[in-house]
Amino acid sequence: MIFLIALFLAYFAPSTAWSVAILALGAVAEVAEITYGRRLARRWRPKTGPTTMVGKTAEVVSPLRPLGQVRIDGELWEARSAAGAGSGEQVRVDSIEGLTLVVTPLGTKQ
């Protein structure tokens, strides 16, 4: 975008020397903008998808004996717990296998 502005300004520059200087500065600014944008994009990781649920707390909707359902972020998910958990209990998501959450109980309902 910066380079397009530089092209526009270079067209109306009073001399060829000014046009070259404006285009050179525009090219440098464009490279700097792209470099900054790429670095910024690497820092921001997507915060979507099933892997973001690992470590979150969920509430048991149907008892986990060992399979059942939990509610996490307003969504119902199939879950499995080796220790088991009753309705209303809080569980932590340890991993995801396919579309089933593997959870462990945190304690009883408060």
Q: pTM for this structure?
A: 0.56
Per-residue pLDDT of 70-97, as tens digits, reads 999 899 999 999 988 999 999 999 999 9
* Pair (58, 39) in one structural domain: no
User: Both 13 and 39 in a single domain?
Assistant: yes
Note the pLDDT of residue 34. Answer: 94
56 and 16 within one domain: no
Q: How many domains does the chain have?
A: 2
Alpha-carbon Rg of the chain, whole angstroms? 28
What interhelical angle do 16-43 and 2-11 show, nearest 10?
A: 170
Q: Are residues 59 and 103 in the same domain?
A: yes
Kindly state whether residues 31 and 54 are assigned to the same domain.
no
Among 11, 26, 43, where does a domain finish?
Answer: 43
The pLDDT tens digits of the residues spanning 37-74 come to 999 988 887 677 777 889 999 999 999 999 999 999 89
The CATH code of the domain that includes 93 is: 2.40.50.140
How many angstroms separate the Cα of 26 from the Cα of each of 5, 13, 16, 17, 42?
Answer: 8, 14, 15, 14, 25
**Residue 97 DSSP class:** E
Judge if 37 and 55 occupy the same domain. Answer: no
Give the domain extent around 65: 50-107
